[in-house]
Amino acid sequence: MSKPITVLYVEDDEDIRDVAEMALEDDGFILLACSSGNEALEKGALADPDLLLLDVMMPDMDGPTTLMNLRKLPHLGTTPAIFMTAKVQPSEIASYHQCGAIGVISKPFDPMTLAGKIKSMMTREGL
């Protein structure tokens, strides 16, 4: 059996966070759920996740800014990141990749396919 994937998951909407948590935990992922960028920085400093899964639009600190700050933590400097967002115009997706994301999952997402999408993005990157 393969090692479970630990995900630092940042989403400010509690309902969306709950759905994603259930979908991913049912598939064997371990989630470190955060409701804000600041909470992600606190948990990220103490954890060594395999993946960063970030909402883009959040109050106070958006997803790209959160990722930039997480990257300043030495142990998270190269941790793969995926953004989840409703903002999926080609130029927006390009900007997420420029931030260092390996992929983008559009919202609303299908809870039944969420784990598979994440795993395929990680596999595509050789992770």
For 27-74, write each residue's pLDDT tens digit.
Answer: 999 999 999 999 999 999 999 999 999 999 999 999 999 999 999 999
Determine contact, residues 105/82, Cβ cutoff 8 Å. Answer: yes
Q: Express each pLDDT in 1-22 by its tens digit.
A: 478 999 999 999 999 999 999 9
Domains of the chain: 6-116 (3.40.50.2300)
> What whole-number distance in Å separates Cα of residue 74 and Cα of residue 120?
26
Give me the sheet containing 6-10, strands edge to edge: 30-34, 6-10, 51-55, 81-85, 103-106
What pLDDT does 117 receive? 97
Q: Exposure string (b/e) for 33-68, b if CB count within 10 Å is 16 or more?
A: bbbbbebbbebbeeeebbbbbbbbebeebbbbebbe
Structure tokens at 76: 């998270």
Q: Express each pLDDT in 71-102 by its tens digit.
A: 999 999 999 999 999 999 999 999 999 999 99
The answer, as to whether pTM is greater than 0.85, is yes
> What whole-number distance in Å separates Cα of residue 16 and Cα of residue 126?
28
What pLDDT does 54 receive? 98
> What whole-number distance in Å separates Cα of residue 44 and Cα of residue 67?
11
